[in-house]
């Protein structure tokens, strides 16, 4: 069973997600932005979701974590929860 560790920032609008992504690209700290802006309880840990198995997250989220490039910030990815910026730390 594939497992991964990822962190994310969850916000209500695509516009805000895009703005945050641009800040990260210019060197802003992902964890600090997560603490300030994310609507997910994981924000307390800088957006860190810890380790989870494939299929535990919604499909659009899973697809990014298990298929896209590691350590790169992907998104905005829309789910029923809002817009995510996702960074996969590792996966097996």
pLDDT in the model for residue 32: 98
pLDDT in the model for residue 22: 98
Domain residue extents for the chain: 3-91
Q: Measuring CA to CA, how many Å separate 90 from each of 19, 20, 40, 69, 81?
A: 25, 22, 21, 10, 23
pTM for the model: 0.96
The reply to whether CATH 3.10.50.40 applies to domain 3-91 is: yes
As a whole number of angstroms, the distance between CA 32 and CA 61 comes to: 21
Q: What are the tens digits of pLDDT across the range 18-63?
A: 999 999 999 999 999 999 999 999 999 999 999 999 999 999 999 9
pLDDT in the model for residue 1: 86
């Amino acid at each position: 069973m594939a497992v991964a560790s990822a962190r994310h920032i969850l916000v209500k609008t695509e516009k805000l997600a895009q703005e945050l992504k641009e800040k990260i690209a210019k060197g802003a700290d992902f964890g600090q932005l997560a603490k300030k802006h994310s609507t997910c309880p994981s924000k307390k840990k800088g957006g860190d979701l810890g380790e989870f198995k494939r299929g535990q997250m919604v499909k659009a989220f899973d697809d990014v974590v298990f298929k896209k490039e590691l350590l790169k910030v992907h998104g905005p990815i829309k789910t029923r929860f809002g817009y995510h910026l996702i960074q996969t730390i590792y996966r097996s």
